[in-house]
Structure 1
């Protein structure tokens, strides 16, 4: 059942972007962000750093994973509450559909988004990066990415 649900999510998200943010982690992926005083966008991850959309592999064993043939990366450029900083620590990500920047309230019917914690290599975050803090102007790769449905979605 999980693979069937994840295949539907894959269909909606293929072609989208992974965006890393700093600031207080919103309760849900549907909540709007406050870039004026709370949140800062750190980097938009696209295919080969071009900004082109990303795709997922076919779900296996209840996990939606990054296609192993794709190189996911982007150039760090801060925008928002702490844009003047040169180094920031990401706290959460949003994987958004094409055309969604992850900032506004997501419509319950059309606004498919994934959200999770981001951390350094030894963190327990859902998305672990090779470094804990990002520096403006540097390239940021994402080697592995996988997302599992919350147990509540499976009736557990």
Structure 2
């Protein structure tokens, strides 16, 4: 078995397109990303769940995630949810940030780092700062709903 180390999303895409890999472990957003369309372009095969007997033991909410499905076929098996943390340097920030809104503080302008390759995390962090709950930040239907946005903003 040969292992290829991936450093950015394009590495997954090119490896699949050139048929250099048989198995990948990408972040969830890549499967349906408009730049790669891995499912739509048939770069991935549906998973035969008969070959994955422990699938039945996954939490229902993980099995029902939309990003890994297309037309009732499953193309990935998520195994964990990611957590988002807000880290700060005590030498430069006097007291711990109390909210994601601290990123929009004028004192922090151009003083923080965000993700370039995993761009969706920037959307999630923005949604968290606007008051969306963790179970809402992955749903573009929720984030693009003005009524839900107003309700979330009023809870901040």
Alignment TM-score, normalising by the size of structure 2: 0.25
Bigger RCO of structures 1 and 2 (CA < 8 A, at least 6 apart)? 1
Q: Which has the higher helix share?
A: 2
Q: Which has the higher strand share?
A: 1
Alignment TM-score, normalising by the size of structure 1: 0.25
